[in-house]
Amino acid sequence: MKYLKQFGIIAGIALIGELLHYLIPLPVPASIYGIVILFVLLESGLLKAEAIRETAHFLVEIMPVMFIPAAVGLMDSWDIIKPSWPVYLLITLVSTILVMGVSGCVTQWICRKQRNAGETKIDRKGQNSESSPGISSLSDPGNNMGAADFERREGKQ
């Protein structure tokens, strides 16, 4: 019964997304409306993650199965796609590389911002200008200090 309730919550949010897609004249897919609603509910605390955790985990586990109909559709449309496949391949490669690059840059920016927000400036050797470095300085790409070096310097051998 627990799984049915959790699936009902997820399906209800997806239904609200479908309704918004029908009512709002924007070119936004219903699934995007649904995921935004789910995000807002989770972040605001109106919906606790525990309320949908098991069913959401199950849906993520079976996600690869959900791509089978799309793959069959591509195979069924091969006669239409065949003349343009190099263009599709190029677009896929370029967009994949762009997404990976932008994601990496954004991740590095967020990591730097979080690291600098709670600490004083750390030089390239992992030396904190006021005190010994924290664990976050060990993850600094410019820092060549290993965990053993850190413990030795801290006198924890």
Mean pLDDT over each residue of the chain, to the nearest integer = 83
- Confidence (pLDDT) at 118: 74
> How far separated are the first and last CA of the chain, in Å rounded?
53
pLDDT digits (tens, 9 = 90+) for 38-52: 999 999 999 999 999
- Confidence (pLDDT) at 127: 55
- Confidence (pLDDT) at 131: 45
Q: Describe the crossing of helices 2-23 and 30-44 by its angle, rounded to 10 degrees.
A: 120
Tokens at 141, concatenated: 């790409």
pLDDT digits (tens, 9 = 90+) for 118-143: 765 555 555 554 444 444 444 444 54
- Confidence (pLDDT) at 155: 52
CB 21 within 8 A of CB 30: yes
pTM: 0.55
Q: What span, in angstroms and rounded, lies between the C-alpha atoms of 32 and 44? A: 18
Residue bearing the bigger pLDDT, 127 or 56: 56
